[in-house]
Structure 1
């Protein structure tokens, strides 16, 4: 994920998450323009990295200062390739009747208007494309008492993320956001010190039993800003340990004594060969998933109804990999698969539930319950069976379960009732498991692809079921994705870099789910459409 040579602007660089962002992008070889308020040690922090970097002072609530800042950065570095909008004013925790309008407007200026102006000025200088990552918050997704201005500003930032993603996609600029839950930062420590929050209660509310470290937020931003996320725009990635996935009275995690070590410092993790099961791995996205994990040294089990295709992929990867014929809708077949994995490897570290079928595009009046049940058996029940058996094989060692959703998770298509229902079910299964399994050290996440150039999509096009030209115009980035785009997202989510992502959904859709306007989301030249069809 190295991006050597880019110029990256990071605001709020002297804070807890800001420092972690500096470290993450510095490790990638980027040149950093670190930005924070006058009086902070941001210049010293930048210089401590090495002589290429520089620190700048700016009050992001001032449009004039932002304009001057970018002129200074451009004069120093000549260009801007990426912006991480991290600077923010924390919640005041004041009751509604005690909040004066001046304080309310200040939060909006710093947390919403400032990032907008920063993005605008950065985009003006991204002549060859670029990427913007906004650091939002779960406060912009879920309501909390006494956080009115902060929550409103972060919800606004999430909306702006999506609208800018759609507007600037044609210029090659991707815009996404990270929505952190509770993070162990100086801001959080101050809230605890002043009695405005109880961090012990916070930990009990998180399925993973701890708050995030700043480096876990920085890792998510780093991925979204990287070429590996080239088809991700308009997406909001929650990094919350499963907070959003827990929806019942009581504790999500047993009480924790003291501060967990993994909340204070990133644990030393020795890279080991993982055993990865990919269902539906014989072609398309499944094959790309298998190849991505294999190239990094993992051992892959490729399970597919197409036994010959699965075997071909396994052989091409090398002798240590395994193929297995699987009818995922059959409990007996699933049990046989996992018995084989246990006998051969003794464990499973990662499950990627990719196997799925499309429905028949029949109008609802012509559909029988059997038509829907067939899709649900494969796409939902089969995925559940594999997840259940994976949990048994992961045991105390923990692991990761990734489920393949769809843009239909969020935006169902008519008449694809069964498929949309199955993908909505997959997302909620992911969340239920995140809430249940987080305390056991098992993380889950959903990857929601948009239109991807796969054999399945090609078959739908050949059958006249989809209009490729219309689809490309509906995608802000102007094209379908590649199977490798989904594989890169899966590889990140299964990695230690995603250690606080649990129950989240990541849309890899070229901006499809961010576009809410009438008409086309992109303009595609006729000759380009002709070239794509050939």
Structure 2
């Protein structure tokens, strides 16, 4: 059977998350090869998806079984387009002194070595362009907690593997990303509660959103990362934790609740109307692409920009009824006035995309003017803050989304771009603080971090000789600059109900830039293989 449909291997396909991942991918027209240790339930679950999907019994701790199963899958389907490494041994919650070395090694074997071996065996059957790998890591691989030694260590290893594989496989255009879920309502978590190892009522109080994730909230992220819409995302670790990692003070992140929240059990009701979306810096580049994407999906847009002529031209080209306002977001009074005008027309704002921003002078520090630095902060940070503050009046007590535009420069220093990097690091931390504050109200706040994107601004920097684009391409594992549409696709997904448990995360859309740490050119195999 040599099919043109994409083929996905999903491990742990019998579990709570794995089963729903299979369903989500099947809905996206993948053919599913589901792997798990037990065959009877697996056969039944796969057959419910359709006769074209197949079940494979495989213990990921056994290299020979992995090799056999991959050969069977390749022989049946002819190619493998997506691997979802979902299977894992959960935390035992045993004290270190009570944990044997065999137990510790078993977790590493299944949670890290098994996925590594599966990828190794499958690579010859993965197409050079368009294939992807999604690893299900865990927040436990990022944030340490007691009595999770082997589990957390294995998930941290999985995160590291994701980044190194992303760099190795980028020249084949095979993308590798990971998801770091927080607490998810699965049988594994239920067993921890039943055995007295976890109190889910206390767990909910520690999560800013006040609830556990539903399995489909992980599955939607898997499907997106495997899709063409995520074509410039590789080497990224996407936290799906309800804001857990953003709360670090004493006390509860969310008020106590007597019952299980309904949104932990069921999908929220559809909005029932077109969303109202405010986009700053909308006239060109990334902002324009975001506006075109949201408008094409039926959203009602309010476009803000300092440049009136291109702003009006954009509004006229978009299908649907949209508004535009010429505004300088570095002027607090103008921001207040424009949001006051918006609220006269719309009682609610559903999405704010803080895209407006400027670059800096590209001069040595002693030649940079204080005025230019202050102007940059007034737009990139202070203006974004004012827009958020004014927008919140139309988002209070309802589900809203704020997307702030960060950068790969947030934590990776670009000399002499001191002010720009500082402004983007500040906007990311602002997003995290806002998540801890606003998540109990149902508002999600995210940071979208582009790499080098081929925008009019980047073209101007190249033409003025301030950047060398050829050198930049060689530094990007995927070997190319991103397009504004790549950022627009990510922004639309993050603002959608499919990203409903992503809160406080910084999502990098950078072609693998932030994953690369070797010497040499990231896009050249010679930089990896010596």
2:412 maps to 1:411: yes
2:433 maps to 1:432: yes
Q: Secondary structure at the match of 1:88?
A: coil
1:153 corresponds to: 154
2:171 corresponds to: 170
Task: Give the 3 Å change call, closer, same or farther, for CA 54–137 of structure 1 in structure 2.
Answer: same
Q: Secondary structure at the match of 1:396?
A: coil
TM-score w.r.t. length of structure 2: 0.97
1:70 corresponds to: 70
CA distance in 2, matches of 1:270, 1:383: 26
CA distance in 1, matches of 2:320, 2:9: 45
Q: Secondary structure at the match of 1:476?
A: coil
CA distance in 2, matches of 1:39, 1:324: 60
TM-score w.r.t. length of structure 1: 0.96
1:232 corresponds to: 233
1:36 corresponds to: 36
Task: Give the 3 Å change call, closer, same or farther, for CA 77–366 of structure 1 in structure 2.
Answer: same
The answer to whether the Cα contact below 8 Å between 2:279 and 2:304 also exists between their aligned partners in 1 is yes
State the shift of 1:127 in Å. 3.0
The answer to whether the Cα contact below 8 Å between 1:478 and 1:524 also exists between their aligned partners in 2 is no
CA distance in 1, matches of 2:449, 2:16: 31
Deviations 1:460-496 (A, max 9, x none): 0001011011000000000000000000000000000
Deviations 1:380-422 (A, max 9, x none): 0000000111111112222000001000012120000000000
State the shift of 1:509 in Å. 0.2
Q: Secondary structure at the match of 2:393?
A: helix
2:386 maps to 1:385: yes
The answer to whether the Cα contact below 8 Å between 1:410 and 1:513 also exists between their aligned partners in 2 is no
1:294 corresponds to: 295
1:124 corresponds to: 124
CA distance in 1, matches of 2:60, 2:40: 14
1:96 corresponds to: 96
1:87 corresponds to: 87
CA distance in 2, matches of 1:337, 1:122: 54
CA distance in 2, matches of 1:365, 1:124: 53
Q: Secondary structure at the match of 2:134?
A: strand
1:370 corresponds to: 371
State the shift of 1:347 in Å. 1.8
The answer to whether the Cα contact below 8 Å between 1:4 and 1:30 also exists between their aligned partners in 2 is no
CA distance in 2, matches of 1:299, 1:352: 13
State the shift of 1:57 in Å. 0.5
Deviation larger for 61-70 or 181-190: 61-70
State the shift of 1:40 in Å. 5.1
Deviation larger for 314-323 or 288-297: 314-323
Deviations 1:251-291 (A, max 9, x none): 00000112111111223425520010110000000000000
State the shift of 1:366 in Å. 2.1
CA distance in 1, matches of 2:386, 2:502: 23
1:531 corresponds to: none
Task: Give the 3 Å change call, closer, same or farther, for CA 25–357 of structure 1 in structure 2.
Answer: same
1:399 corresponds to: 400
CA distance in 2, matches of 1:484, 1:239: 23
2:266 maps to 1:265: yes
CA distance in 1, matches of 2:520, 2:477: 11
State the shift of 1:448 in Å. 0.3
CA distance in 2, matches of 1:428, 1:107: 34
Deviations 1:180-229 (A, max 9, x none): 00000000000000000110011000110000000001111111111000
CA distance in 1, matches of 2:113, 2:505: 27
The answer to whether the Cα contact below 8 Å between 2:296 and 2:319 also exists between their aligned partners in 1 is no
The answer to whether the Cα contact below 8 Å between 2:80 and 2:125 also exists between their aligned partners in 1 is yes
The answer to whether the Cα contact below 8 Å between 1:61 and 1:109 also exists between their aligned partners in 2 is yes
2:282 corresponds to: 281
2:310 corresponds to: 309
Task: Give the 3 Å change call, closer, same or farther, for CA 172–318 of structure 1 in structure 2.
Answer: closer
The answer to whether the Cα contact below 8 Å between 2:39 and 2:55 also exists between their aligned partners in 1 is no
Structure 1 segments of 4 or more deviating over 6 A?
A: none
CA distance in 1, matches of 2:341, 2:320: 16
State the shift of 1:337 in Å. 1.3
Deviations 1:35-67 (A, max 9, x none): 100355111111111111000000011111111
Task: Give the 3 Å change call, closer, same or farther, for CA 420–459 of structure 1 in structure 2.
Answer: same
CA distance in 2, matches of 1:402, 1:4: 36
Deviation larger for 375-384 or 4-13: 4-13
The answer to whether the Cα contact below 8 Å between 1:4 and 1:28 also exists between their aligned partners in 2 is no
CA RMSD of aligned residues (A): 1.4
CA distance in 1, matches of 2:428, 2:116: 31
Give unpaired runs (5+ residues) of structure 2.
none
The answer to whether the Cα contact below 8 Å between 1:473 and 1:524 also exists between their aligned partners in 2 is no
2:511 maps to 1:519: no
CA distance in 2, matches of 1:113, 1:271: 46
The answer to whether the Cα contact below 8 Å between 1:357 and 1:379 also exists between their aligned partners in 2 is yes
Deviation larger for 49-58 or 364-373: 364-373
Q: Secondary structure at the match of 2:302?
A: strand
Deviation larger for 300-309 or 36-45: 36-45
CA distance in 2, matches of 1:397, 1:487: 24
